[in-house]
Amino acid sequence: QVRLVESGGGLVQAGESLKLSCAASGRTFGRAAMGWFRQAPGKEREFVAAISWNDGSTYYADSGKGRFTISIDIAKNTVYLQMNSLVPEDTAVYYCAARRGEITTTETWYNAWGQGTQVTVSS
């Protein structure tokens, strides 16, 4: 079983940056995909970014393109989400997720989730 633990959330002002981390443990990942999702108050959880553990390929939601960067440190079994130029609309609980297979934006195809980390962006 894969265990995921997020960290790095916090309160920042608009225009500032945050770097989220997702430490993974448990089964080795091989051909796994890692994703970041977020859920704002009163809204459904939405896809943010994903990366392949196998070849490092990435995919981003339009909301994060040009501002967010997802990356992997294989030696540390950790996935990161660097978020720059944050805006109040980025306020949400951010979740890390994992699945075997190719990267996907579909939430239900991920079968391991972290507990989430709160990101709050003030105007």
> How confident is the model at residue 26, as a pLDDT?
83
- Collapsing DSSP to helix, strand or coil, 53 comes out as coil
pLDDT at 54: 87
CA distances from 14 to 39, 82, 102, 119 (A): 18, 15, 33, 12
For 53, list phi and psi in degrees, rounded to 5: -70, -25
As a whole number of angstroms, the distance between CA 74 and CA 87 comes to: 30
Q: What is the per-residue pLDDT for 121?
A: 98
So what's the pLDDT on residue 2?
Answer: 87
Helix (H, G, I), strand (E, B) or coil at 14: coil
Q: pLDDT truncated to tens, each residue of the chain (123 aa)?
A: 889 999 999 999 999 999 999 999 887 666 689 999 999 999 999 999 999 988 899 999 999 999 999 999 989 999 999 999 999 999 999 999 999 989 999 999 999 999 999 999 999
| Alpha helices per DSSP H over 44-86 | none
